[in-house]
Structure 1
């Protein structure tokens, strides 16, 4: 929910509740429930697709699938470990389960079940999780700031962090076609539309240059690609040229494209992600560069290695450096340093 309040100077200010999951700015183009609608569309062509949730159908947009295919929907209750075990069993019988919950519950509460019953058995389960990173203000119990690091560490797991509604719509049929376990972060509700303006097409394992630039190369995933594109547009007015390389597939990483772009001389290289700076895209890219003998000036934009505060998302994004203005400030400072 949003409501207008007044600042100390008497001007209106927009505040948000702690739990709001939408990260759309005021007036930004959005699309409702892209995951739910894309899954319904995919299921029309693929009768083996089934949907499972752990009492969070409404909050992962799986209720749309449940309405369209009630006989292919399984409400497992607040039992994430049981849900992933059941998803593994369904996959063993030839189904393609899409199992949804919050990212914290999958990556922390049910990690061993995903690791042992899905990944080790190479089961064709698609794990799709809402509230990734800092998209909830409810504090550490609901902030999945380390999920990418945990899922990257599982052998054989494909890990995807989509940017917007346009990419989610394309990613759903792509991961349905992909053979093997997938972990995908989910933006739900009214999801921003960004990448359609750039003619972008999602491909598993591919990073793509969304915007070129000569001063800074930002390698980003998820909502940080949206934020970085916004920052790049603002910085252009100050004659700062920012390239944006969107890397939605965290594993397997598009090593060829990243090395080619990071190898261009004269640019500061920055990795931006809605995730702790420990173990995510930033460290994956840093390790890749080091192993291949590249040593550009390198910085990270990400969440700190600490338990984060509760509060309204705009305040938290400013505080932890992942808002558009905070990204602009960081890039300017690093270029000047």
Structure 2
């Protein structure tokens, strides 16, 4: 995803000199082509994410479209006050990019796990929150936030994520993207956990369980119309996110469901169960430990679909 983001940003910078990228002293392996081609549209702010964010806000208020770039929690939680006061409050044209959502940096411990970011960022007024699921969606989301005025958050994986071949026609901020139809339940997901979701669907199909799959590349504004439609078609909706279940994507879906008239679908949320990971390991390992692997997603769907 990060390579596709950089190549897309380079295409945007080539046609718009107001595009400016600010990094927090990392990403050099993938950012080098950008800064070599656009040295006047690039700044290394150093390991100072709060300064980076205020700097970006100032540039944005002077007419620039500024992308800040760092890993995990660093461009979000570490710089939260600056995002709130300097960017969101002023509706500044700052695009905050996190590389390494969820457990991407699992072996580095909880300080590098981004498992509260969606909840925190969607709680800020005037902030659009996007979590694409594969490189193609990362490209579309980058183009979308570039064109969208105001402060945006783009949550990416790291690199090597497979193409999920999610539909791309009609991609826009705030729109869910149906991937597969089904009969017994609906799997709703956001972010790079999509590979596990699609494998879970395959495992369930082999057992005769038919599940719909819907990608939500936008967490805020959530596609309330799509959720309402799904709630009328299915008895069970299952949300999957590589994130805390409190306040994130599942929480956003729950808010929509809570205001629908009865009857409405039952909601089951799969994610990190309101805790920090006290263990370290690869992303795949931690997903399995905390119930987000394909086999554990399938087991949970099997359980609720038969309830």
**Contact map agreement 1:225 1:244 (CA 8 A) in 2:** no
Distance 2:91 2:255 in 1: 27
Distance 2:172 2:72 in 1: 22
Answering whether residue 279 of structure 2 is matched by residue 316 of structure 1, we say: no
**Contact map agreement 1:32 1:191 (CA 8 A) in 2:** no
Aligned partner (choices 103, 119, 134) of residue 88 of structure 2: 119
- Relative to the length of structure 2, the TM-score reads 0.94
> By how many angstroms is 1:43 displaced?
1.2
Distance 2:99 2:232 in 1: 35
Answering whether residue 275 of structure 2 is matched by residue 275 of structure 1, we say: no
Question: Structure 2 vs 1, CA of residues 57 and 199 (structure 1 numbering), >3 Å: closer, same or farther?
Answer: closer
Deviations 1:156-187 (A, max 9, x none): 10000110001011111111111110001022
Answering whether residue 256 of structure 2 is matched by residue 288 of structure 1, we say: yes
Distance 2:10 2:185 in 1: 40
Q: What RMSD over aligned residues (CA atoms) do the two structures have, in Å?
A: 1.6
More helix by proportion, 1 or 2? 2
Does the residue aligned with 1:185 lie in a helix, a strand or coil? strand
Does the residue aligned with 2:268 lie in a helix, a strand or coil? strand
Deviations 1:130-174 (A, max 9, x none): 111122212210001000010011001000011000101111111
> By how many angstroms is 1:290 displaced?
1.1
Distance 1:49 1:180 in 2: 14
Aligned to 1:256: 225
**Contact map agreement 1:42 1:172 (CA 8 A) in 2:** no
> By how many angstroms is 1:199 displaced?
5.0
Distance 1:270 1:153 in 2: 22
Does the residue aligned with 1:105 lie in a helix, a strand or coil? coil
Aligned to 2:302: 332
Aligned pairs for 1:1-337 (under 5 A) are 33-58=3-28, 61-137=30-106, 138-195=108-165, 198=167, 202-265=171-234, 267-294=235-262, 295-308=264-277, 309-337=279-307
Distance 1:151 1:32 in 2: 20
Deviations 1:194-252 (A, max 9, x none): 125x4555311101211100001111101223321221122111111010111111111
- Relative to the length of structure 1, the TM-score reads 0.86
Stretches of structure 2 lacking an aligned partner (at least 5 in a row): none
**Contact map agreement 1:167 1:201 (CA 8 A) in 2:** no
**Contact map agreement 1:148 1:275 (CA 8 A) in 2:** yes
Count of residues in Structure 1 that have an aligned counterpart in Structure 2:
304
Does the residue aligned with 2:161 lie in a helix, a strand or coil? strand
Deviations 1:90-130 (A, max 9, x none): 10111101100123112221100000000001100000111
**Contact map agreement 2:161 2:192 (CA 8 A) in 1:** no
